[in-house]
A and B are shown apart, each in its own frame.
Chain A
Amino acid sequence: MKWLRLALQSAVMLAAVFAGVRFAMGRSVVSVETWCPFGGLETAWSFVTHRRFSCAAGELNLALFLALLILTLLARKAFCGWVCPVGALFEWEGRLARRLFRRPGFTGLVRVPPRVDRMLKVVLRLAVLAVVLTATWTTGELVFRGYDPYYILFSAHGHDVQVWSYAILGGLLLSALLLPMAWCKYLCPLGAAIWPFAVAGRLRLARAASACTGCGACDRACPQALNVSGVTEVRSGECTLCFECTAVCPSEGALELRWTGVKR
């Protein structure tokens, strides 16, 4: 499963690079933005009120966003851990940081107290989402393209990408070394938008206390730095069902994927 996830992440990333370069070279009229589900949310207001799309967004963005909501209701943040190329990049950077700084888990050099971490995940990310949506819905333009790591990375120096865009990207890449997945945890507006759906997600990892040895390998393997070994069911809206925890668990049957609300 680990290799399948890596293959899917790599394939999506390569496809995004390929699409961006082809568009930049004038070989294709379809830009890399066409495949972004967040574009669907950005254009939702314009679509509902005027039956028109904002800026470069189109029907595929909207369909992908709705499909993402359904996926999230079933499989939590699987999109973030299996598909999103920005999430993949920051996760790989987290792995690099773990080796560079010889850290046992995805904790990074900067330690954020749990209370602050929880507050930032909710308040800061929702604030980013509110600002982006307000600006986009009122202007009808994708005004935050120049700040969006997905667009900066994969548009091959697309429209709206300026020198400062690369400075922002550099800052985000640096922050991911110090604090793994910082963008995903504290800033990603798409993550904020799907978070309530992820909390309600039906597929969850369950830990059987009777089979668990309490070694903590699952905690150290979790790219989101979730506390897996201390709960009977991973209910966090940040779980991407990446199965890094199940892959390292030495005790068979200690961690299982379960449908919640469905009796045997």
Chain B
Amino acid sequence: MKAPLWIVPALIVACTAAAAGGARLFAAPSVTREFAAAAQGTVSRRVVFVVSGVRCVDTAEGAARQFSGVPGVLSFAAYASRGRVEVTYDAASTDVPALIEAIEGPVYDEATQEFRFGVYAVREVDGEKVDQRSR
């Protein structure tokens, strides 16, 4: 059966749109960490950050290490391709500014045995852009 030539660009647009729309079906984290089990009566909250510096599994693992030892952090999940970091925390022990301080803090580089600054920067908190100039 004869087909019009425009069918080819139409199929390209349709397939691209389907991929963009259907990508969420495959959403899976690059890195997950459980820091502590929530005790009974804990008010656990979840915050979603978009973090520059989280761009692959290695950098996402580095971001997870920033939260180890931070009181009140319960779990961590990173989606490296989008720079997205989800943190569940105990609202009685910590808050969002403390979490931002933790992730943006100096990063210890084991190879050089030095601290590096500005490795991670929070760009968004729960969908709200963070103004970098005012900080």
If A1-B6, A203-B8 touch, does A59 touch B57 (CB 8 Å cutoff)?
A: no
Considering the chains assembled together, what is the distance between the CA atoms of A5 and B5 in angstroms?
Answer: 11
Among listed B39-47, B75-83, B96-104, B107-115, interface-contacting one: B75-83
If A71-B12, A78-B8 touch, does A56 touch B80 (CB 8 Å cutoff)?
A: yes
The answer, yes or no, to whether B50 is at the interface (CB within 8 Å) is: yes
Q: Mark B61-103, 1 if CB is under 8 A from A, else 0.
A: 0000000000000000001111100000000000000000000
Contact of A29 with B50 in the complex, beta carbons under 8 Å: yes
The answer, yes or no, to whether A186 is at the interface (CB within 8 Å) is: no
The answer, yes or no, to whether A58 is at the interface (CB within 8 Å) is: yes
The answer, yes or no, to whether A129 is at the interface (CB within 8 Å) is: no
Distance in Å from the Cβ of A209 to the closest Cβ of chain B? 16
Total interface residues on A, using CB and 8 Å? 51
The answer, yes or no, to whether A118 is at the interface (CB within 8 Å) is: no
If A47-B28, A58-B81, A258-B2 touch, does A63 touch B23 (CB 8 Å cutoff)?
A: yes
Contact of A29 with B82 in the complex, beta carbons under 8 Å: yes
Distance in Å from the Cβ of B19 to the closest Cβ of chain A? 4
The answer, yes or no, to whether B127 is at the interface (CB within 8 Å) is: no
Contact of A34 with B81 in the complex, beta carbons under 8 Å: yes
The answer, yes or no, to whether A110 is at the interface (CB within 8 Å) is: no
Q: Mark B1-40, 1 if CB is under 8 A from A, else 0.
A: 1111111110110011011101111111111000000000
Q: Which residues of A contact B19 (CB under 8 A)?
A: 60, 63-64, 66-67
Contact of B20 with A60 in the complex, beta carbons under 8 Å: yes
The answer, yes or no, to whether A124 is at the interface (CB within 8 Å) is: no
Q: Which residues of B contact A82 (CB under 8 A)?
A: 8-9, 12
Q: Which residues of B contact A117 (CB under 8 A)?
A: none
Contact of A29 with B30 in the complex, beta carbons under 8 Å: no
The answer, yes or no, to whether A13 is at the interface (CB within 8 Å) is: no
Closest to B10 in A: A75
| Most chain A beta carbons < 10 A, residue from B1, B24, B25 | B1
Closest to B18 in A: A67
Q: Which residues of B contact A8 (CB under 8 A)?
A: 9, 12
Q: Which residues of A contact B55 (CB under 8 A)?
A: 29, 31, 56, 159
Q: Which residues of A contact B15 (CB under 8 A)?
A: 67-68, 70-71
The answer, yes or no, to whether A243 is at the interface (CB within 8 Å) is: yes
Distance in Å from the Cβ of A191 to the closest Cβ of chain B? 17
Q: Residues of A at under 8 Å CB distance from B?
A: 1, 4-5, 8, 26, 29-31, 33-34, 47, 51-64, 66-68, 70-71, 74-75, 78-79, 82-83, 140-142, 159, 203, 241, 243, 246, 256-259, 262-264
Q: Residues of B at under 8 Å CB distance from A?
A: 1-9, 11-12, 15-16, 18-20, 22-31, 50-52, 54-58, 79-83, 121, 123
Given contacts A53-B57, A66-B19, 5 further A-B contacts (CB under 8 A): A52-B29, A59-B23, A63-B18, A83-B12, A142-B56
